Structure 1
């Protein structure tokens, strides 16, 4: 008695949001709106490929009658962005992008005692157990591998399948993949669009070629996709088997429409392979055994564990990563807390 004690959350000040091109509205809004709700001002620096998105955010804020000065959309190059971070005039930086760019963000923030939230690369694995609903697993993993042409940080890029169901899984996976229609996204018949640049497609083509030279087998004939022209941004989906972790396509983030599939003999082998990565953003387990999914999930080094789904953000859950997939949290109450600071009140009101 005689005391009042509580914790208050206060705004940090100014939050710099550095947003990517691949989901230009969703990834930006995940920080912009919570930051404003928490009482912060926001500076948005959008990717050079999606500058109009930043302008539309600014127009939306104007139409919503947001007080002047609370939101600014700035066109910045890398040097200017680093200068803002180094100036000490922002209190939090939330960045989504590559590992190398994330390192540059951390370097710019060195000695400034800023909060730095980094959502970086991914090489997300899936494990299909023998008891999985095969039709459901195939349909969802094909979509998880090739949605947005694989240009998603949480896209499925490597799949491990119980050896007992491996042949039928691979057969059905390849059959469904062949049904994609590669073409102009403005064409209603298109179900698979181009990569962001010809250079991005060149990188993925190189991964595929290297894997084939090292003994991998390609299950999809690129010639069946007439839009797949070497040198262009249009790239046919590819499914590789006879792959190993010595291949770049199973180690390095592809960010394109390619996935490698390996058979495994046990849960233990699957977990070992899933964890054999510098990344850890999300991982999915395909099984009808909830207890097994929870048990295996505890052993996976990842930010999110899915059961019988993948490539999905739930606003109620923390979106976070381990290892080179980043640091910090967005979404959920935890993401909101990262945009505020705690102040404790310890009040003795009876003396």
Structure 2
């Protein structure tokens, strides 16, 4: 029997473990879900919406359990209160648009014909959620999928092993039928077999590029719909007319919050030569104010990375960049808690360039590179010099200029004077190796349903 373990970054202990489901048990769970789907979809939409919202409310009541668990499992400091703000915002927004998003598109209703396009649920939706924001990333799909009449099978990463249990428990206690929303513990082999057998109607995966490729390989030939959010190397561009202090405050937070383990975190910044020196100086001072330590301590502002191997990869990227001429500006002596393991001090690098993997490959840690640019054209070229494209953050007082630049950036979302935020009214999507498909917004509902046309010729006397 395979045992799935969560190794806590807090102290390296085994925080939780669960046996992986054998294929027969997992297949039976999917079968129960499929059997329950038709009855769930026949319930009135508003009833489904309210049950989901009750599940969200029930999870909020579990805050004293959920927040310290997150700290133990993936290292986010308890002072930040978990993920409830975004979790609630996204759930409430999709609930508010569900009726309009799923309403039939009426083409004709005359004496001769009724023609319309309706949205039908796919059926069984498989959500494979990551560890970095395990509640918020899961709810992006779970909430609209259930509201639309799908049933959901949820699988979380080993690093946040207990999150799926907590979510399902909350929703079932709130009245969602047990077979409609199920949590599973699966190893990679069983996951691939279930997908390869075509047991799911839609799969949503958030994780690494290689993980996305594995999902696509497993699903090859099944014609299963897939939504993927994969890697990122999100840029910021600070123009000469930017609000310097606001840019520093927001971009440094976007680069280091959650120990830099954010899908849309800022990993590289291009600054106009007129502001470059001041931006760098202020950024180093900003980052140096973090308190690295045990995430269960309410004074801690920066916790460990989720796993020591993740921190090792960040250290290797930094070391490689420094060996090629980059300069690390944050004094490591300010962070005595950096133990060479999961606890990693934040860092700002300058004299970097795109020959370094640090500026090209995903870092996913509390480290950022800053480059000087002379104009918009150079910044656009550098921002697009990436195999990823999730978000880009533009800093200027000129919205028209931001719009022109945004149109030339290969990305899923263009921000102006903000970053590292997911607006539930806008579709969350990426380009290139960041993935395909999209969640949230009206389009998120459309991705979780399929169109069905009705062409009804009325009887004539």
Shorter-chain TM-score bucket reads over 0.9
* 8 Å Cα contact 1:158/1:250 also seen in 2: yes
- Counterpart in the other structure of 2:453: 344
Superposed, 1:1-351 pairs within 5 Å as 1=110, 2-230=112-340, 232-351=341-460
Aligned-pair distance for 1:3? 1.6
* 8 Å Cα contact 1:42/1:71 also seen in 2: yes
Cα deviation, 1:237-295, whole Å, max 9, x if unaligned, reads 00000000000110110010100000001100000000000000000100000000101
Number of residues paired by the alignment?
A: 350
Aligned-pair distance for 1:10? 0.4
Using the size of structure 2 for normalisation, the TM-score is 0.75
Aligned-pair distance for 1:61? 2.0
Cα deviation, 1:131-169, whole Å, max 9, x if unaligned, reads 000011000011000010100110000000000110011
Write the distance in 1 (CA, Å) between the matches of 2:162 and 2:275.
47
Write the distance in 2 (CA, Å) between the matches of 1:237 and 1:27.
25
* 8 Å Cα contact 1:180/1:192 also seen in 2: yes
Write the distance in 2 (CA, Å) between the matches of 1:66 and 1:77.
26
Write the distance in 1 (CA, Å) between the matches of 2:307 and 2:208.
16
Structure 1 residues not aligned, in runs of 5+: none
Write the distance in 2 (CA, Å) between the matches of 1:38 and 1:290.
36
Larger relative helix fraction: 2
> Could you say what secondary structure the match of 2:303 adopts?
coil
Cα deviation, 1:285-326, whole Å, max 9, x if unaligned, reads 000000001010000000000000000000000000000000
> Could you say what secondary structure the match of 2:302 adopts?
coil
Write the distance in 2 (CA, Å) between the matches of 1:57 and 1:84.
22
Write the distance in 1 (CA, Å) between the matches of 2:393 and 2:322.
26
Write the distance in 1 (CA, Å) between the matches of 2:229 and 2:448.
15
Which consecutive segments of 4 or more residues in structure 1 shift more than 3 A? none
Aligned-pair distance for 1:64? 1.5
Using the size of structure 1 for normalisation, the TM-score is 0.98
Write the distance in 1 (CA, Å) between the matches of 2:214 and 2:253.
33
Aligned-pair distance for 1:67? 2.2
> Could you say what secondary structure the match of 1:25 adopts?
helix
- Counterpart in the other structure of 2:103: none
Quote the RMSD (CA, aligned, Å). Answer: 0.8
Aligned-pair distance for 1:350? 4.7
Structure 2 residues not aligned, in runs of 5+: 1-109
- Counterpart in the other structure of 2:52: none
Cα deviation, 1:62-117, whole Å, max 9, x if unaligned, reads 21221241111110011111111111121000000000000000000100001000
Write the distance in 1 (CA, Å) between the matches of 2:166 and 2:286.
37
> Could you say what secondary structure the match of 1:249 adopts?
helix
- Counterpart in the other structure of 2:62: none
* 8 Å Cα contact 1:3/1:350 also seen in 2: no
Write the distance in 1 (CA, Å) between the matches of 2:459 and 2:353.
70
Write the distance in 2 (CA, Å) between the matches of 1:165 and 1:193.
31
Write the distance in 2 (CA, Å) between the matches of 1:51 and 1:179.
32
Write the distance in 1 (CA, Å) between the matches of 2:334 and 2:179.
53
Write the distance in 2 (CA, Å) between the matches of 1:255 and 1:54.
23
* 8 Å Cα contact 1:245/1:251 also seen in 2: yes
